[in-house]
Structure 1
Amino acid sequence: MYEISIEGKLRYASIKIEQVTNELPGILFLPHWHHQMEFYRMLEGEMMLTIIDETVHVKSGDIVVVNPNEVHSAERITASVSFVLYQIDLFSLTDNLADIQQKFLNHMFHQRRYFLKRDPVLSTRALPFLMTVEAGWRAGNVEAVESATRLMLVELLRQVKTKYPDQGAYKTYKHTLSQLKPTVSLMTFRYQERITLDILAEMTKVSAIHYSRLFKGVMHYTPIDFLNQVRIAKARQLLLTTELSVGEIAFQTGLRDSNYFSRFFKHYNQMTPTAFRKKYRIS
């Protein structure tokens, strides 16, 4: 039901790999962004991956890239999905410029602002490299993992790249993300607190109307619906991994009243919390 790490641990590698399998109803993951680059290699099932304003239909065998600082989210199409996620920290990977590959990557990503296109060619070109990266990960070989990752990115940038078309628009987009980041963090990690639109707008130092427009423009949710989805995701996790009562889970997710929580949960999951726990929990 949940994320399963691929065998092998690399404490200091600039790439992390995990296999994700999900059979639960609802959104696969909510809109978010980070400075790492990600590759999704689909193993089974189908999902819709939304990246900024582009929605990509991802099916078994596909490989899709998410460049750094691109807001992305996903919904399942099939009842179950399974994919391998490769997360690459480009800053870590390019911090030592003694190597010609690292110089090239630093120039492309950090100076010229090139990024990888979501193109069918990418799947064909990336697969053998990702398999090599994964083999190094399983063997616990940091140098092999990072060397294969650099080689992959160099080759892909030579063949499947494009430049940010409008540097002004890109700077505006990144500025908006920086504006929203404190409120997204509040809703993601302190969802049990009382959070209102006015509180979120005040944190961003704009009006509530302007904040709502900014938020929905990049996250594709209203702020309150995003908060509701965060609370529902946490409620599902607690139902499946703890012995807490429905009332206790209601309190821990910031919804307080168990009757309201049950109605709220059913609205998003088409079943009560108790029915959800009975159907999906693995004893």
Structure 2
Amino acid sequence: MKKPLRWSIMTDFERQLPYYYTIVGTYYEQEHIKRTHGYPRFQWLQCRCGRGELILEYNKKFIIEQGKGMLLFPNEPHEYHALEPGWQVDLIVFTGTQIEDFIRRILKAERSTVYDVASPQTLSGRLEELYMLAGTSPATKELTCSALTYAFLVELSRLCSSGQSSPMVRLTDKLSPVFSYIAQNVDKQISLRALAELVGLTPQYFCSLFKKVTSQTPVEYINLIKLRHAKALLLQTELPVREIARRVGVEDASYFCALFKRYEHMTPMSFRTLHG
């Protein structure tokens, strides 16, 4: 599933916002990039699939694979390229009056570096929301995009570590089979007991561990993954709501509509009309 990048034209109003994006992409098949003088804005790229390599000053090299992300500072030389065909990344290029202050004070970053990403699915989900909104033109789009950019930064600060053995990374590694199972079975009903058995835990302890890693209960996370898939189907197909509900593992269309409205504050058809 290769997707093009989406760019912000940057109006005067957008330039005054504290947090914003100039480019956002998901499932982007990354080409070879070499910038001897760097790039004028902060960038974040994280591996969706495949393997790539980042080269910083003094020929310092990093492997960028699943669970890894790179934060690139403005005007710092860098180069990155695929190590195998089909290297796909999720990415965002930041702008905004408070971006540098947030990155230096909250992320405590001083230069370009590579991070371990606990729960990369969470960060990818934030970028998918922003990517979807960037392709529409509602009246309040700019403010919502700014809010989503800030939400992404907050998650980034919570989930990233430059240490190879951070406790959060180890916990996320343990839950990795669960994240994969949910993603591969979005069209089915998923039980907590089945998820707990995947990682050899009791349902009670599994729920506690899952919330510690994602800040969501397993049910909330599953609902959000199903709704993210449903929103894509609403915008990319003309399928009726009943069929979309079935394709995300919800047999009762009325329950699906109620669930959709609880999270999105509008009905599925209203969402399709507004964003389609």
TM-score, normalised to structure 2's length?
0.51
Query: Is residue 10 of structure 1 aligned with residue 31 of structure 2?
Result: yes
Amino acid at match of 2:232: Q
Residue ranges of structure 1 left out of the alignment (5+ in a row): 17-32, 48-53, 57-62, 84-116, 119-161
2:115 to 63, 67, 71: 67
The DSSP-based 3-state class of the residue aligned with 1:217 is helix
Q: 1:232 to 1:8 in 2, by over 3 A?
A: closer
What's the counterpart of residue 66 of structure 2? 34
Query: Is residue 189 of structure 1 aligned with residue 184 of structure 2?
Result: yes
2:263 and 2:225 map into 1 onto residues whose CA distance is: 11
2:220 to 222, 225, 240: 225
Cα distance, 1:71 vs structure 2: 3.2
1:215 to 200, 210, 222: 210
Residue ranges of structure 2 left out of the alignment (5+ in a row): 7-27, 33-49, 55-64, 72-91, 100-104, 131-141, 150-155
Cα distance, 1:78 vs structure 2: 2.7
Contact 2:51 2:66 in 1 (8 A): no
Alignment of 1:47-196 (within 5 A): 67-71=115-119, 73=123, 74=126, 78-80=143-145, 164=163, 170=165, 172-196=167-191
Cα distance, 1:203 vs structure 2: 1.0
Cα distance, 1:9 vs structure 2: 6.2
1:205 to 181, 200, 206: 200
Contact 2:230 2:244 in 1 (8 A): yes
Amino acid at match of 2:236: T
TM-score, normalised to structure 1's length?
0.50
1:194 and 1:4 map into 2 onto residues whose CA distance is: 32
Query: Is residue 253 of structure 1 aligned with residue 244 of structure 2?
Result: no
The DSSP-based 3-state class of the residue aligned with 2:188 is coil
Report the structure number with the largest CA radius of gyration.
1
Contact 1:250 1:257 in 2 (8 A): yes
What's the counterpart of residue 150 of structure 1? none
Contact 1:46 1:78 in 2 (8 A): no
The DSSP-based 3-state class of the residue aligned with 1:67 is strand
1:276 and 1:45 map into 2 onto residues whose CA distance is: 31
1:176 and 1:187 map into 2 onto residues whose CA distance is: 17
Amino acid at match of 1:4: P
Q: 1:172 to 1:258 in 2, by over 3 A?
A: same
What's the counterpart of residue 157 of structure 1? none
The DSSP-based 3-state class of the residue aligned with 2:189 is coil
Q: 1:204 to 1:45 in 2, by over 3 A?
A: farther
1:195 and 1:211 map into 2 onto residues whose CA distance is: 14
Q: 1:13 to 1:186 in 2, by over 3 A?
A: closer
Query: Is residue 267 of structure 1 aligned with residue 262 of structure 2?
Result: yes
Contact 2:118 2:169 in 1 (8 A): no
Cα distance, 1:260 vs structure 2: 1.0
Paired residue total: 173
For residues 25-84 of structure 1, give each alpha carbon's deviation from its aligned partner in whole angstroms, at most 9, with x where no partner exists.
xxxxxxxx933323342147999xxxxxx977xxxxxx997712333534879322598x
2:162 and 2:221 map into 1 onto residues whose CA distance is: 31
What's the counterpart of residue 239 of structure 1? 234
Moved over 6 A (4+): 6-9, 44-47, 63-66
What is the root-mean-square deviation of aligned Cα atoms in Å?
A: 4.2
Contact 1:266 1:272 in 2 (8 A): yes
Q: 1:197 to 1:42 in 2, by over 3 A?
A: same
2:95 and 2:30 map into 1 onto residues whose CA distance is: 21
The DSSP-based 3-state class of the residue aligned with 2:216 is coil
